[in-house]
């Protein structure tokens, strides 16, 4: 069983930056991916970024490309999401997740249904 605990959320003005962290514990399979997702009130959960746990290949949602960076520190078992140039539309609850994914492309790696272990979430609020 994989457990994930997010931290680092908060309130920031538009144009600012935040870094989210997610401590991952438990067994990570060789086919595992780690991802960041977000959900705003009244909207579906959206894939933000994903990374192959063993190799570092990264994937990004169109709305965050060039602004957000996903990374991982394997010795610390920690996943990060560096968020720059934040916009009010980035306001949401952010979740990290883990799942085993076989084949497919970026859309599969950014689909919430591909992940079966989730953290409790951390709130990000961006004011204009």
| 123: β partners | 93
pLDDT tens digits, 76-92: 899 999 999 999 999 99
pLDDT at 94 exceeding the cut of 80: yes
Instruction: Supply the pLDDT for residue 117.
Output: 95
| Residue 54 pLDDT > 90 | no
DSSP 75-127: GGTEEEEEE-S--GGG-EEEEEEEEE--S--HHHHT-GGG--EE---EEEEEE
pLDDT-above-90 percentage for the chain: 83
The CA distance from 36 to 47, in Å, is 6
- What pLDDT score was predicted for residue 29? 72
Q: What is the mean pLDDT of residues 35-50?
A: 97
Q: What mean pLDDT is reported for the chain?
A: 94
Question: What's the whole-number mean pLDDT along residues 30-49?
Answer: 94
| Alpha carbons 122 and 95: distance in angstroms, whole number | 7
Q: What is the pLDDT of residue 85?
A: 98
For 58-69, the pLDDT digits (tens) are 999 999 999 999
Question: Which pLDDT band, with edges at 50, 70 and 90, does 102 fall under?
Answer: confident
Contact call for residues 1 and 25 (beta carbons, < 8 A) = no
């Amino acid at each position: 069983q994989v457990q994930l605990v997010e931290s680092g959320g908060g309130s920031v003005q538009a144009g600012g930056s935040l870094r989210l962290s997610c401590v991952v514990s438990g067994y990570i399979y060789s086919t595992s991916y780690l991802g960041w997702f977000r959900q705003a009130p009244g909207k579906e959960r959206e894939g933000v970024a994903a990374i192959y746990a063993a190799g570092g290949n990264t994937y990004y949602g169109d709305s965050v490309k060039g602004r957000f960076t996903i990374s991982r520190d394997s010795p610390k078992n920690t996943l990060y999401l560096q968020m720059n140039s934040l916009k009010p539309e980035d306001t949401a609850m952010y979740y990290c997740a883990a799942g085993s994914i076989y084949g497919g492309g970026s859309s599969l790696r950014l689909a919430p249904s591909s992940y079966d272990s989730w953290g409790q979430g951390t709130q990000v609020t961006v004011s204009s």
